[in-house]
Amino acid sequence: MSLQECYRTIREEVDKVIYGQDEAVEFALAALFSSGHVLLEGPPGTAKTLLVRTIAAALNLDFRRVQMTPDLLPGDITGSSIYREQSGTFEFRQGPVFTSFLLADEINRASARTQSSLLEAMQEVGVTHDGVTHPLPDPFITFATQNPIEQEGTYPLPLAQLDRFMFKIEVPYPDPTAEQRVLREHHASGGKSDPTAMDVQAVVTPEDIIESRTTIRDTHVRDEVIAYVSRLLAATRNDESLSVGASPRAGLMLLMGAKSFARFADRDFVIPDDIQRAFLPVMRHRVVLSPSTELEGIPADEVMSGILEAIEVPR
């Protein structure tokens, strides 16, 4: 199955359940096909968890959900050693991270120590325990959700953790038309919508995803577009509104996201419009506002939009 077919068939399944969140769905699938991880941020009740569960239901992959809480320990995610009395040895019991599709729900409710247990898994696609590295399944993708409003009892993600996420997708309230459809279609479920009960089928295999990721990597990027990305990165480092700019890894994630959008549009090459489309979700969680900008209440998206407008676009 081609990447375009994978994208189209997954969208058809997701659209059975999720209404009015087209941008969130598109970016989530862009990350899936380009080996990225996704952080979904939005107020409660905007279908963040349901979106991830629905995408997982459309994939023929193992799926596990971890409810992140303050008392959760790293071993509760990565696994722990169990003593076997018969053999007199310790045996490693795999944790829920050993799956192809992981949902870390309300990630900012877990302690910094527990959050950091996902760092190696997300970057190296493996877990090291007692000096032995255990590989994770291929493909492996992490989705995490967080609520930006209620901060009591939360542990903000450090920059190193945020940097592991390809996109930070903001999930807003749906528009009135979409919200009426949500009320009409989901009211009988009592707020407990189940993707499989709503006829969401597993339409994509692990092999399809791995093949699609190869297609993404083979997408052509002109030197002029690479130079454009470099100028955008440099602008974030020189902007007085920011105390920390974007890293080279941010540029790589930006290019990977742009490649996905190019393929979704049935192109085998990236254009500047693809870069601009991916720019905010790639950058908004990787830059740090200066203290004066924070005091003025200027959001990161506004600063990044200004940079995007200021940098000349190649033809």
The count of C-alpha atoms lying within 13 angstroms of the C-alpha of 263, restricted to the half-sphere facing its C-beta, is: 30
The per-residue pLDDT for 198 is 79
- Could you please state the CATH topology (level 3) that the domain comprising 219-310 is classified under: Helicase, Ruva Protein; domain 3 (1.10.8)
Read out DSSP for 247-305? -HHHHHHHHHHHHHHHHHTT-SB--HHHHHHHHHHHHTTT-EE-HHHHHTT--HHHHHH
What pLDDT score does 152 carry? 67
pLDDT, residue 96, reads 92
CA distance 127 to 134: 5
Q: What's the pLDDT at 119?
A: 87
How far is Cα 183 from Cα 11, in angstroms, rounded to an integer?
A: 21
- Return the closest-CA partner of residue 225 out of 185, 257, 187: 257
DSSP string, 127-181: EEETTEEEEPPSS-EEEEEE-SS--TT--PPPHHHHTT-SEEEE--PPPHHHHHH
Per-residue model confidence (pLDDT) at position 151 = 67
pLDDT value at residue 150: 64
Tell me, rounded to whole angstroms, the distance of Cα 105 from its chain centroid: 12
Domain 3-211, CATH: 3.40.50.300
State the pLDDT at residue 190: 57
The rounded distance, in Å, linking the Cα atoms of 209 and 191 is 31
What is the CB neighbour count within 10 angstroms for residue 173? 12
Question: Do 96 and 77 contact (CB within 8 A), yes or no?
Answer: yes
| 64 phi/psi in degrees, rounded to 5 | -135, 145
Per this entry, what is the length of the chain? 315
Where are the domains positioned within the chain?
Answer: 3-211, 219-310
Count the neighbouring beta carbons within 10 Å of the beta carbon of residue 55: 29
Q: What is the mean pLDDT of each run of 10 residues along the chain (315 residues)?
A: 89 90 92 93 88 90 90 90 80 90 92 87 88 89 86 79 93 88 75 74 90 93 96 95 93 96 94 96 94 92 95 90
Classify 213 as helix, strand or coil.
helix
Distance CA 293, CA 148 (A): 19
pLDDT digits (tens, 9 = 90+) for 253-282: 999 999 999 999 999 999 999 999 999 999
